Structure 1
Amino acid sequence: MKTKSGASALAILLTLATLTGCGMTDSEKSSEKKPLAGTSTSRDVSDAVEKVSSGIYDLIGVQGKASDSRPGVDQCSGRSREKYFRIFHPWSFYPASAGDLDEAMKRLKEELPKNGWKIVEYGPDTSRNKNINLTADNDEKKVGVNIVQMSKNDPPKLSLMVVSGCYEVPDGQEVEHF
């Protein structure tokens, strides 16, 4: 079970890495790199990503509880691990009533675009449960989110992964990994 969860999280992280601008592209092979999200410390970006997660939680609009998880640091594909990073924040939302799960996902699909997000993918995945996946980017905040509606879980939940774009640490500093 943990292997499936880890593999799913890795697949989501790789998908969001592509969407948030830190993946390898054909143009990078010709020494052109995608633009960075900016220059910052991993702690500051971590704080910003937690605020984004909190904003998404507010958009859910149904009673429930969020898991207590902290952001982590990941490397940017094709870039130095000591100088470049992205922040990921996995968390889950458990509605007070299983019947509210559909409403929570519906609200997110409606409210995210009203709040600066562009939905880039929506629909059932290829799993046996045909979980509904919603992937969205927020260019202004330089983050992406993947939300999976897991109706058949016990308990039912939304599984969320918020991922920042690729940042560079300020000159003279190294990425703090946590």
Structure 2
Amino acid sequence: MTNDDTPESPTTNTSESGDSASGIPHAGTAGTDEAVAAVKAVSSQIYDFLGVPGTASQAGPGVKACSGKDPDTYFQVYHPWNFTPESGADNDVAVENLKEKLGTGDWVIKSSYRDNSANKNLNIVADNDAKKMSVWIVGYSKRDTPSIGIEVTSGCYRVPEGQTIQHS
């Protein structure tokens, strides 16, 4: 990704639960491995929503501190990855599939807009309040090799008593 095509950071889940000064909801108590597995499961669901053949990048999830919370007790999991369809023409189809699927079930589209890059890339932000997850999607349809940038981010987890946060 280039800086002129990418906003500085994705929008995170902004549920109005009031659990955090930053607006990030409390996702429950979980060990790092359990939280990472939950984010990977949501990323897999998003991959299935794409509905076209292609390749996903192999970058794994990361762990970061929750803004405004004790960094030894609270953490978030984020999973950025890219999807490149086998056919560049399928990029717009995949983005439309995402828009459709992220408007059903527990998913709610919170924002859909064109960024201010030269390519006016479509950005979609959707939340799943039941899973305390958010996804930020950017459709790079006008690039030489069309692709979709995806980042799944969890709410704030509290590490169980006696455990430590494992940063990856």
TM-score by length of structure 2 reads 0.90
Change (3 A) 1:98 1:23: farther
Task: Give deviations 1:73-123, integer Å, cap 9, x for gaps.
Answer: 011001111110000000011011111111000011011222320000012
Q: Which residue of 2 aligns with 1:28?
A: none
- 2:9 is matched by which residue type in structure 1? A
Residues 143-158 of structure 1 correspond to what in structure 2 (within 5 A)?
A: 143-158=133-148
CA RMSD of aligned residues (A): 2.3
| Alignment partners' CA distance in 1, 2:83 and 2:69 | 33
Q: Does the alignment pair 1:84 with 2:81?
A: no
Please say if residues 26 and 132 of structure 2, whose CA atoms lie closer than 8 Å, have aligned partners that are also in contact: no
Provide structure 2 residue ranges, at least 5 long, that are not aligned to the other structure. Answer: none
Q: Which amino acid aligns with 1:57?
A: Y
CA distance in 1, matches of 2:39, 2:16: 13
Q: Counterpart of 2:12?
A: 16
Higher share in strand = 2
> Which of 65, 77, 92 is equivalent to 1:102?
92
Residue 43 (structure 1) shift? 1.1
CA distance in 1, matches of 2:46, 2:25: 25
Structure having the higher helix fraction is 1
1:164 aligns with 2:161: no
Aligned pair count reads 167
Give 5+ residue unaligned stretches, structure 1.
26-32
Task: Give yes or no for contact 1:20–1:142 (8 Å, CA) kept in 2.
Answer: no
Q: Matches of 1:17 and 1:23 in 2, distance apart?
A: 11
1:159 and 1:148 map into 2 onto residues whose CA distance is 5
The Cα offsets for residues 35-54 of structure 1, whole Å up to 9 and x where unpaired, read as: 52100011111011001100
Structure 1 length as normaliser, TM-score?
0.85
